[in-house]
Copies of this chain bind each other. A is one copy, B any other.
Amino acid sequence: MNSHLDKINDFTARLDIETLTALNAISVEKIFKKGNFLLRQDEVCKKSYWIEKGIARKYYLNDGKEITTELYFDNDIAVSFDSYCLQKPSREYIQALTDTTILQTDFGAFQTAKQQFPKLAKLDLMMTEYYAMWLEDRLFQFHTMDATHRYLKLIEDHPYIIQNIPLTFIASYLGISLETLSRIRAKK
């Protein structure tokens, strides 16, 4: 799985200066304070957000309850995927959980840049593929693992997660109740 991420990193590391310059030209650094929103429901996701430093989460409301769909750390890229691809209103919120430094890239400008710099188009495809594989893996976990195993897998992959993120968000990310998560943690 991570071999694809390696491929992406390798690919970006080898980008020629012209392509990199073009990418920089359409990107802006921004800082979001803890609790602030990079994106809200019903807004169109017009930027991709590269998390330089900090923690963020993506979530939506279902029956008034927040369901966390993704957690972001350093070097992750955050978008509300269908809103970004289709440029339609987002069902999801993206929120900074700590003070977070972000490099945001404009959707429209990126589409234009892709036409001039084919490597950016290639990069776009690779990142989309990576996201699809990540989703497949997450689905696999929901399909085959119970709450305890999903939790163990999560802290195995991201040990630092428990120090930095409130349990409520982790529980909802794992698709279990806060109470169940608390009990799982009490046991082991």
Contact = CB atoms under 8 A, between A and B. Distances in A.
A contact face: mostly helix, strand, loop, or mixed: helix
A81 B137 CA distance: 11
Given A136-B135, A142-B139, A143-B67, A85 B129 contact: yes
A88 B4 CA distance: 11
A142 B175 CA distance: 8
Interface string A1-37: 1011000000000000000000000000000000000
Contacts of A143: 62, 67, 69, 142, 175
**Copies of this protein chain in the complex:** 2
Interface residues of A, number: 27
A164 to B, nearest CB: 22
Interface string A58-86: 00001000010100000000000110011
Interface in A94-146: 121, 124-125, 128-129, 131-133, 135-136, 138-139, 142-144
A128 B139 contact: no
Contacts of A86: 3-4
Given A135-B136, A139-B142, A143-B175, A82 B1 contact: yes
